[in-house]
Chains A and B, each alone.
Chain A
């Protein structure tokens, strides 16, 4: 089965695909922070334009991006309604005791905008960066923490392996859910009790096979000489190129400009 999970890596050869994962992760974090420092419409529009340009450069498939956004539709709606009705200010609409305010409308829109930006940026990061690169980048960024005794390399390895098995697990869940449906059950339907029972019948075999897989993988790693992450070296070393430096500079400069514009007013 082929399925595209929200935010799954899509192999391609875009400008963003070729960037160093450390640069991409740093830039994504920075860009995610910017919306919390700005309020004016002009800066928001500028930031949106920047993110749109990045999206364009990433060659991210727009339908897939839309699907990713849809996963937070419920949360976004809840946030919107929550801020709309709980923010004090000038009343916009009053229905009995419930007051909708102008400030609420603004706050609600801002919050949803931040949420969408977070989702889009992380989706673009994962669309353009393979799980292995992500883990490698994370390991490099968190590298200094090994000095204070944190097992960063092991953590990166665990992350790589976990990410590698996510699609496998989903495929397996789908297959077993189908096998249950072929026997007359419908894991996602019925009352709470039936659903719990239905999903139990799906997850028991999943856990069994996951443990079996883990054991086999551990054996296979040992058979190939794995002795803990400390002594491992990398076949592919991360090296910053001029492209990476330029990209980092552009993003940092743009973020500073946007936040600066905000402060000027």
Chain B
């Protein structure tokens, strides 16, 4: 599905003393299968933007088009498009309400008007996708599950609708580092397997770097940067201007560069940064021993340098 955001503005509580502009003239196009990270400081309009993508809010000005249909319209065409956009709010486990896991996950598919057999198949599939053992889980009461399990059930409820666009608003908030890694790994695996468009809202830049290929930075309700994740997330100046810090790897590489190391600073993942630093360290070592008087070693060094 092609998502087109056109001059989108949104104001909360217009005409009251609590009036607050959340989005201001946002333009954005997200193509099928893209993996987009949305980042920005608290209050920058991230959540408001993704709610518009799912057609949950009516724009104050501008429009959101889902394959050319206004996202919030009350027409059957718009409803059909909205059903293909799956949105998980922050802390989705707080929104669980059914008496059994099965019914909770089946809630969305039921509204799609599917047959009972298809619903059952989808519930099984979705529970499997989130790594829960379907037969033992289906009959359990969601409130007896652990927090992590509840979040996975909630996400299964959205996956079961087989969305073409999956929007996750801070999916790893409140999880421990291991839980975060695991969930992100799953999200990546789903994306590869199903190929849906992924919109990931987060202010953990390391997380975005791992999952997103494209990054959109919001600040004060406006898009202040939009480009490849590598380019956007290593641009310290514009990130700081938006009120964000650079990813830790970039900060480290920038510090090394200032200390005279020849490293590229646009390495976002820890393993990439490690490789970059190792390579630069080798280069420095080679240079330090490649004094002309040392003759043969400098030949070796040049060869080594050429190889690197």
Interface residues of chain A, those whose CB is within 8 Å of chain B, are: 1-4, 10, 12, 61, 63-64, 67, 175-176, 178-185, 200-202, 204-205, 208-209
Contacts and interface: CB of A to CB of B under 8 A. Distances in A.
Nearest to A189: B74
Contacts of A209: 94
B83 A179 contact: no
B16 A205 contact: no
Contacts of A176: 94-95
Max count, chain B CB within 10 A of own CB: residue among A1, A4, A180, A182: A182
B301 interface: no
B83 to A, nearest CB: 5
Contacts of B86: 182
B161 A183 contact: yes
Given A178-B89, A184-B83, A61 B111 contact: no
B56 A181 contact: yes
A63 B97 CA distance: 37
Given A182-B54, A183-B161, A2 B20 contact: yes
B96 A205 contact: yes
B40 interface: no
A79 B92 CA distance: 44
Contact of B15 (A63, A178, A181, A201): A63
B261 interface: no
Contacts of B83: 184
B56 A182 contact: yes
Contacts of B108: 183-184
Contact of A205 (B15, B51, B88, B94): B94
Contacts of B87: 179, 182
A64 B17 contact: yes
B97 A61 contact: no
Interface of B: 12-13, 15-18, 20, 51, 54, 56, 82-83, 85-89, 92, 94-98, 107-108, 111-112, 143, 157-158, 161
Given A184-B108, A184-B161, A185-B107, A208 B143 contact: yes
Contact of B112 (A67, A179, A184, A204): A184
A2 B18 contact: yes
A201 B107 contact: yes
A183 B107 contact: yes
A204 B94 CA distance: 10
Nearest to B97: A204
A174 B112 CA distance: 22
Given A4-B17, A178-B51, 15 more contacts: A2-B20, A64-B16, A64-B17, A175-B89, A176-B95, A182-B85, A182-B86, A182-B87, A183-B161, A184-B83, A201-B97, A202-B97, A205-B94, A205-B97, A208-B143
11 contacts: A1-B12, A3-B18, A4-B16, A4-B17, A10-B17, A63-B16, A64-B17, A182-B158, A185-B111, A201-B97, A205-B96
Contacts of B94: 176, 205, 209
A130 B272 CA distance: 55
Contacts of B88: 182
B12 A3 contact: yes
Contacts of B143: 208
Nearest to B20: A2
B56 A12 contact: no
B289 to A, nearest CB: 62
Nearest to B86: A182
Nearest to A176: B95
Contacts of B95: 175-176, 179-180, 205
A240 B22 CA distance: 42
Nearest to B167: A182
B187 to A, nearest CB: 17
Contact of A61 (B12, B16, B89): B16
A208 B108 CA distance: 21
Contacts of A67: 16
Contacts of B16: 4, 61, 63-64, 67
A179 B89 contact: yes
Contacts of A63: 15-16
Nearest to B111: A184
